[in-house]
Amino acid sequence: MINNNFDKNCKVCSNTIISGQERYVCSECIDLTICLECYPKSHSISVHTDTAPLPHYCTIEKYVNQEYFLRHRADTLFQTSLNVFETFKNRLCLGHLDAKSPMKSSEMKIKWLTYQDVYESATKFGTSLLKIVPQVILI
């Protein structure tokens, strides 16, 4: 059975954030949710739970149970991927070191691509491949 309860507790104040309310969610931590009121002060305290090598990046998300499932429902992996790209299009997805960045770890700069950037690049790449790779029909 699918658990469609999106009520969460704020990691800072422990207040319940009910389904449909906006909340901040960390891109790297598993299940880190912060309410809008606590987010400004979350920078001065340690709320992140893991040692992810990538920087933590919080985005505002809002889940309404029925809308969430209808938006993400798909019959194929391809359609599921498209749903993810659409849902998180403004969220940071892939990062790489800036080639001009110094090699000292404290000065390294990471350039980020959003899900939208990755989708557009993948679409251009796939379209280009179709032009040069012979079409093969699998039976």
pLDDT for 119: 92
Domain spans in the chain, listed from the N-terminal domain onward? 1-73, 75-139
What pLDDT shows up at residue 2?
40
Half-sphere exposure of 104 (CA within 13 A, CB side): 2
Q: What is the pTM of this model?
A: 0.52
CA distance 114 to 27: 12
Q: What are phi and psi of 81, to 5 degrees?
A: -60, -45
Question: Across the 139 residues of the chain, what is the mean pLDDT of every consecutive 10-residue run?
Answer: 62 87 80 86 68 70 63 77 82 79 66 90 88 69
